[in-house]
Amino acid sequence: MNQFVRIRHLGRADYVSTWQAMQDFTAKRDAQTADEIWLVEHPPVYTLGQAGRPHHVLNAGQVPLVQTDRGGQVTYHGPGQVVAYVLIDLRRAGLFVKSLVTALEDAVMATLTEMGVSGACRKPSAPGVYVLFEGDLAKIAALGIKVKQGCTYHGVALNVDVDLSPFGGIDPCGYPGLQTVNMRQMGSSATFVEVSLSLCRQIVQHCGLRVE
């Protein structure tokens, strides 16, 4: 069943206040509340998932570290990374958590293809999207979801032209030595806005939603 979804462009916004706003939205929504997708770019921050292990934070340096409530381990957010937060009523949309994760990964892969990056793929038992870079699989998008009372928040982060050096301060997503890459390194000249709009459109399509 197609469901209406509202798109919100938040620009560059603090991670903690955005996370709190997602929690508030989810706590207050009811059966008639429209689903929403929030597109945002965060100042530099490390986030550790609900079951995240602190030893995967190797050297945070001056970058803030936030213990959050999404799934997954530790990741980095920063300027040049498109973050799409997906606030969906799973039951109303006819989705399960696993099918939502698959839809988000499919949306990222379709976005990458549209923006000129080929060969995007999944990696068994490691949620997210990967590309072949310098002979090895490198992570280009990370994913983490929280479900509360049948509704989701958090979402997916796609590296456009983000500075990758802060990933050296962590084991990305809990995998020591995991290489990360951005779209610029993969030869894409797409702008942040172009990628943001494409990703949003692909999420809407792959999740079976309609823009209100």
Per-residue pLDDT of 121-168, as tens digits, reads 999 878 899 999 999 999 999 999 999 999 999 999 999 999 999 999
pLDDT-above-70 percentage for the chain: 99
CATH number given to 3-211: 3.30.930.10
Mean pLDDT of 1-16: 89
Task: Answer whether residue 37 shows pLDDT above 60.
Answer: yes
How far is residue 187 from each of residues 82, 105, 117, 133, 134, measured CA to CA in Å? 17, 20, 7, 11, 13
Residue 37 CB partners (closer than 8 Å, separation 6+): 5, 6, 7, 8, 84, 85, 86, 87, 155, 200, 203, 204
Mean pLDDT of 41-56: 94
- Could you give the residue numbers annotated as active site? 173
pLDDT of residue 2: 54
Nearest to 156 by CA among 87, 86, 210, 96: 86
Task: Answer whether residue 107 shows pLDDT above 90.
Answer: yes
Task: Give pTM, 2 decimals.
Answer: 0.96
Sign of the CA dihedral 2, 96, 115, 9? positive
In the chain, domain spans: 3-211
Q: What is the pLDDT of residues 64-101, one digit of tens each?
A: 999 999 998 999 999 999 999 999 999 999 999 999 99
pLDDT of residue 4: 85
pLDDT of residue 52: 87
Task: Answer whether residue 176 shows pLDDT above 60.
Answer: yes
Largest CA distance in the chain: 49
